[in-house]
């Protein structure tokens, strides 16, 4: 499906990004594999991650080039797109899979933990998308695939930074889809649920005899790749401004926020009338205040 296309994949040295890079190459794309090889919390660097992914693609007869840049820096993101142009002569798709976690309950979260996660998930998505945009505009084609999360769309404990970034990615993707449609460019989001290094801490308190542990381990990153491949292919030319979810063999379409109900008060609202009249009228449609992603996507529904 991607013969002749050049795709940049960030965070492609491990996990979901790597599975996507391999799948793109199998479908005929030339792939720039971006990954500085940071640890789970964003520290350190290991160029072997990207190199190994490129070697695996080459062993299968594909074409790939390793890029080790930090996409939280505009120059780093620009280098990813430049590598596409220098080594493969064009750029057709950008898949933003890079990210890491620095989880903490809100009252314990530091500004450093906040900034680091926002910078890689939201800032990185901005930087790489902005770097690709002039080329997409000029050729009047291109596709962005951004990674959001159920943590941002629904909620999760101890992830205010990650949740804010991932919901921000949805806003970014929506704006790209609207602003770039006139140039034949589309933008979509994927909210993956998969067992990767980034979420392996969820299993730390589980026993290997725990059914939940075994179910969690079945959520392969490879299951996310087909949708990403499709979204950067020509077959998805009429698919834009959508949010998809993938969990094992299940693919879902998320709704966007829309008004559920509205109540008009011809006399105008006061704080007291809101308490007495409006809230009792709307309460039946309130979202659960304590709902998290696991409540919507429990493991036992796989």
Active-site residues, by number, are: 162
Q: 54-57: long-range contacts (C-beta < 8 A, 24 or more apart)?
A: 56/22, 57/21, 57/22, 57/25, 57/31, 57/33
Structure token pair of residue 167: 């919901």
**157 neighbors 108 (Cβ within 8 angstroms):** no
d(CA 129, CA 254): 23
**234 neighbors 92 (Cβ within 8 angstroms):** no
**192 neighbors 246 (Cβ within 8 angstroms):** yes
Q: Residue 267: exposed, middle, or buried by beta-carbon count in 10 A (0-12, 13-18, 19+)? A: exposed
């Amino acid at each position: 499906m991607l013969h002749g296309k050049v795709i940049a994949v960030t965070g492609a040295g491990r996990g979901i990004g790597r599975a996507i890079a391999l799948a793109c190459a199998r479908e005929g794309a030339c792939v720039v594999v971006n990954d500085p090889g940071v640890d789970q919390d964003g520290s350190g660097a290991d160029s072997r991650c990207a190199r190994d992914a490129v070697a695996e693609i080459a062993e299968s007869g594909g074409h790939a080039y390793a890029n080790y840049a930090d996409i939280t820096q505009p120059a780093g993101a620009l280098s990813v797109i430049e590598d596409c142009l220098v080594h493969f002569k064009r750029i057709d798709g950008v898949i933003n899979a890079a990210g890491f976690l620095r989880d903490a309950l809100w009252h314990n979260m530091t500004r450093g933990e906040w900034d680091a996660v926002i910078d890689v998930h939201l800032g990185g998505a901005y930087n790489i998308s902005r770097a690709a945009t002039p080329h997409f505009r000029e050729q009047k084609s291109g596709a962005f695939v951004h990674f959001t999360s159920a943590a941002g769309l629904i909620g999760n404990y101890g992830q205010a930074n990650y949740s804010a970034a991932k919901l921000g990615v949805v806003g970014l993707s929506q704006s790209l889809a609207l602003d770039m449609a006139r140039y034949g460019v589309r933008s979509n989001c994927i909210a993956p649920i998969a067992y990767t290094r980034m979420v392996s801490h969820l299993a730390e308190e589980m026993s290997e005899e725990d059914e939940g542990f075994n179910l969690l381990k079945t959520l392969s990153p490879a299951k996310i790749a087909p949708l990403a491949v499709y979204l950067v292919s020509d077959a998805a030319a009429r698919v834009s401004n959508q949010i998809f979810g993938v969990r094992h063999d299940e693919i879902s379409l998320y709704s966007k926020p829309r008004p559920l109900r509205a109540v008009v008060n011809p006399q105008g609202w006061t704080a007291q009338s809101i308490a007495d009249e409006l809230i009792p009228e709307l309460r039946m449609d309130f979202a659960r205040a304590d709902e998290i992603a696991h409540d919507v996507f429990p493991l036992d529904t796989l």
